[in-house]
């Protein structure tokens, strides 16, 4: 049982809070009917042009730094498809250069928008997106611009120029004195839209950009890497809070359940924003949460698998060819949408040392005796670098509670075999009250070798698998808002809901 003095979150209270949060987050700007739509936001044409001009003025001095951050991203041209095209189109939407919503297909209109971007930044307008074009779009992908202070600048003038707020600028630049800005200072300016997108497919590049944007906008958000994937992609951990009670959340153990990544990151962004603004929920200050709890989040456990499912791997990638060969042996599993495993064909949520041998026997009997799109347990427990990193981090952090987001069924799994940690069911019932999801017990043939199973086995503390949404994976992003409203209360309760 958690021992700090907590608070209770009631369903009615959370419902009213969620409505208020949704209204607060929506901004509708319109000018002459010219509006670039993204994630429910409207950015007027004249604001976009003003921001672009400000960005262009500082682009040259910051070009090398920014290009270094995007250098590994794919070069895109007309005919390309996949999550990175989604990302490109989403950035062009935010920049006011593309009116059509992202569809993941690089067509003629996208190419024309890229040419316009390149002209704005004095680049060769060839319509091909390389490092320089990605760098030019970087502020719109991260929601943050740098500004070189000029003589006569004030914090109020700078914030207004980018349609930001003084409070947001001060949060992003702790320690500055608004009344004493010095020429030559470089300020971080949050742009007037949220960092985390919920309308496009995700990939590891989008994750890296989002992490950059969040930590720049909220410097109190700590970021570290707990390991690397098979293909060398970083496994990011984000940390909020300084409290003694430490809890760990994770998402996207399964590649085709990548919708859980933006769910978790949207919660981090909302938490950070409300903490910075000193807001309350149910009468409790977010700053109380920050000081009482330490929240650690791994938003994408399987980045390689996510990139495979969303089409972000290069077409000539050896990893893609290897995955296609693995999938060919399992024609009943749709490719790539049915892929749950890491890029080597190991199901990460079947690779933890909790009745692993039993899981192996069950899955081998089902025909998963070698690398597969799903359900192969691997050659040994924690053989995959991703699951090994998660286990190391849990041991290092000594979590009081863990919560893993998956996507299927609107269920809350709270128990492992015959082990029921004290207070776990009671908290699951509270989660049901704020989400409508049902507490459930994993069927006997399936309650083996998962992260939640291993955590309960090792620590006898509450560990949860939250199955969000319903339908065929990958779940459509049209469900995102409904799922987030349900998950918000669960994620809040995971920090503080164990106490009476």
Residues acting as catalytic residues = 467
- DSSP conformational letter for 406: E
User: How far apart, in whole angstroms, are the C-alpha atoms of residue 99 and residue 332?
Assistant: 39
Nearest CA to 262 out of 431, 83, 92, 135 is that of 83
Looking only at the bridges linking them, the beta strands covering 463-467 and 411-413 are antiparallel
Q: Is the peptide bond before 474 cis (omega within 30 degrees of 0)?
A: yes
405 by DSSP, 3-state: which? Answer: strand
**397 and 248 Cβ atoms separated by less than 8 Å:** yes
23 Cβ neighbours under 8 A, 6+ residues apart: none
**202 and 258 Cβ atoms separated by less than 8 Å:** yes
User: How far apart, in whole angstroms, are the C-alpha atoms of residue 374 and residue 390?
Assistant: 19
Sequential DSSP letters for 318-366: HHHHHHHHHHHT-TTS-TTTT--S-TTS--GGG-SSSSHHHHHHHHHHT
User: How far apart, in whole angstroms, are the C-alpha atoms of residue 420 and residue 444?
Assistant: 14
Angle of CA points 190, 196, 201, to nearest 5°: 140
Residue 276's H or E segment, with its range, is helix 260-277
Going along 46-158, which residue ranges are E strands? 144-148
State both tokens at 64: 């090398």
24 by DSSP, 3-state: which? Answer: helix
Angle of CA points 479, 480, 481, to nearest 5°: 100
Burial (CB count <10 Å: 0-12, 13-18, 19+), residue 486: buried
**248 and 403 Cβ atoms separated by less than 8 Å:** yes
Q: How far is CA 140 from the centre of its chain?
A: 17
209 by DSSP, 3-state: which? Answer: helix
**412 and 428 Cβ atoms separated by less than 8 Å:** yes
User: How far apart, in whole angstroms, are the C-alpha atoms of residue 19 and residue 25?
Assistant: 10
Nearest CA to 83 out of 311, 258, 304 is that of 311
- DSSP conformational letter for 123: -
């Amino acid at each position: 049982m958690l021992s700090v003095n907590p608070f209770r979150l009631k369903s009615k209270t959370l419902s009213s809070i969620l409505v208020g949060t949704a209204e607060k987050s929506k901004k509708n700007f319109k000018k002459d009917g010219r509006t670039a739509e993204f994630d429910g936001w409207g950015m007027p044409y004249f604001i976009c042009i003003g921001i672009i001009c400000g960005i262009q003025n500082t682009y040259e001095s910051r070009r090398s730094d920014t290009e270094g951050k995007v250098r590994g991203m794919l070069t895109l041209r007309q005919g390309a498809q996949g999550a990175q095209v989604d990302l490109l189109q989403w950035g062009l939407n935010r920049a006011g250069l593309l009116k059509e919503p992202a569809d993941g297909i690089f067509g003629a209109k996208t190419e024309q928008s890229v040419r316009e971007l390149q002209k704005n930044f004095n680049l060769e307008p060839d319509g091909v997106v390389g490092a320089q074009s990605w760098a030019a779009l970087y502020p719109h992908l991260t929601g943050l611009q740098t500004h070189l202070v000029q003589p006569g600048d004030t914090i109020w003038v700078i914030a207004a120029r980018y349609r930001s707020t003084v409070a947001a600028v001060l949060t992003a630049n702790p320690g500055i004195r608004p009344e004493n800005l010095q020429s030559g200072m470089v300020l971080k300016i949050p742009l007037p839209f949220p960092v985390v997108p919920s309308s496009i497919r995700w990939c590891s590049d989008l994750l890296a950009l989002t992490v950059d944007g969040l930590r720049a906008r909220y410097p109190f958000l700590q970021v570290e890497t707990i390991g690397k994937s098979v293909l060398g992609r970083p496994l990011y951990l984000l940390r909020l809070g300084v409290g003694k009670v430490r809890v760990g959340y994770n998402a996207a153990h399964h590649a085709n359940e990548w919708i859980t990544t933006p769910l978790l990151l949207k919660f981090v962004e909302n938490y950070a924003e409300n903490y910075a603004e000193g807001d309350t929920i149910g009468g409790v200050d977010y700053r109380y949460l920050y000081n009482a709890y330490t929240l650690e989040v791994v938003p994408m456990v399987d980045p390689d698998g996510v990139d495979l499912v969303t089409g972000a791997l290069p077409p000539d990638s050896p990893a893609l060819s290897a995955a296609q060969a693995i999938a060919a042996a399992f024609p009943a599993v749709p490719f790539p949408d049915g892929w749950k495993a890491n890029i080597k064909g190991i199901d990460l949520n079947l690779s933890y040392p909790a009745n692993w041998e039993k899981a192996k026997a069950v899955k081998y009997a089902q025909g998963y005796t070698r690398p597969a799109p799903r359900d192969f347990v691997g050659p040994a427990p924690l053989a995959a670098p991703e699951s090994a990193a998660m286990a190391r981090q849990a041991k290092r952090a000594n979590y009081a509670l863990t919560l893993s987001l998956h996507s299927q069924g609107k269920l809350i799994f709270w128990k492992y075999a015959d082990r029921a940690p004290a207070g776990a069911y009671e908290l699951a019932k509270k989660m049901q009250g704020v989400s409508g999801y049902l507490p459930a017990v994993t069927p006997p043939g399936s309650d083996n070798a998962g992260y939640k199973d291993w955590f309960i086995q090792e620590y006898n503390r509450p560990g949860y698998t939250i199955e969000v949404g319903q339908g065929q994976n990958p779940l459509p992003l049209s469900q995102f808002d409904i799922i987030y409203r349900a998950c918000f209360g669960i994620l809040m309760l995971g920090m503080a809901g164990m106490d009476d």
